[in-house]
Structure 1
């Protein structure tokens, strides 16, 4: 994409009409060399991308197969009689996951998840205590209701993951991400903080293996 964008800006400086005008050599031929090289790299690049996508898909399929296989062994206790069915289940789950979430989409980095968990578990524990306190208080200090949380991006995968995180935390349920926004039902709407919601979104975005592109920005 970088080469294509550069070509779009460079071509008008010395386009084909100047290069071929009257069959004469362009007086700015030297200025045209970068444009030609950019266009050549753009033409050759799709074959390279094809190989890269194939490698990426193979690596992603292998990683997902390992994860699904470990999950199957954990659920079945490693029973030998279940291995045949496990092989079929792992293959089907891997193909389905690649279909639903292609390998060229941003992925989750496991070590970042490990760094994310302590804060998430702390928030979940404190949220559980807060919900229990409100439920046991005779005055029942709750104010249930909906809020519309404004997000900084509209990436679907990031929005779904953020909604899952919000829904797991006690006292809140996400209705699903919209266009750079998310409807959230809270047990106590008076305690809602937009700054905290955006901080949670930044932590979720930080779990992906590459930065969410500008096309996914809310104001992009």
Structure 2
């Protein structure tokens, strides 16, 4: 029990310090904005703890998770840019090149915040969204099968798994 409390306290302090440094670097050290800074840092710290709770292995796995998070962010931004351009191109055609489909795709992530993050990120990808979660996976609504939604979903889950420090496993179970 004491180790768990210490892990959470350490995570709260470190994240709050990091987010405070980010706030000060962006907004400056101005007393007029201190209240906004306190609210913003508090909310961001709480959100980061909700989305990425402190890991049981403590600081041992953080370099791999941090690098996985950086790679996930880069991949996501690239996919969003390419997907956005593709969707825009399809939309401006005289006859829009869309053939909406719903496809099923399996979970690779265990139930929890990593899986939730993957579903949220998938909904931000242009052209494809999670329609609903079912017992062993998700139903993806896509503008076209040419967008390879199942492959994109699997790649996203593998990258989220690296960022969260978990192993992707086919048929990961209940949502």
Whether these two folds match at TM > 0.5 is yes
What are structure 2's unaligned runs of at least 5 residues?
A: none
Report 1:132-143 matches (<5 A): 132-143=88-99
Residue 87, structure 1, aligned to residue 33, structure 2: no
Residue equivalent to 2:166: 211
Residue equivalent to 2:141: 185
Residue equivalent to 2:2: 51
TM-score by length of 1: 0.60
Structure-2 change in CA distance of 1:74 and 1:182 (3 Å)? farther
Report 1:97-112 matches (<5 A): 98=49, 102-104=53-55, 109-112=65-68
Could you tell me how far 1:205 is from its partner in structure 2?
Answer: 0.7
- Paired residues, what number? 168
Q: Deviations over 1:38-60 (max 9, x none)?
A: xxxxxxxxxxxx23213211211
Provide the rounded CA distance (Å) in 2 between the counterparts of 1:104 and 1:90: 21
| Higher Cα radius of gyration | 1
Report 1:21-32 matches (<5 A): none
Q: Which of the pair has the greater relative contact order for Cα pairs under 8 Å at 6+ separation?
A: 2
Could you tell me how far 1:87 is from its partner in structure 2?
Answer: 3.1
Q: Is the 8 A contact 1:155 1:212 kept in 2?
A: no
Q: Is the 8 A contact 1:150 1:180 kept in 2?
A: yes
What are structure 1's unaligned runs of at least 5 residues?
A: 1-49
TM-score by length of 2: 0.72
Structure-2 change in CA distance of 1:68 and 1:187 (3 Å)? same
Task: Kindly indicate which of the two structures has a greater share of residues assigned to helix.
Answer: 1
Residue equivalent to 2:15: 64
Which residue among 100, 106, 112 is the counterpart of 1:150? 106
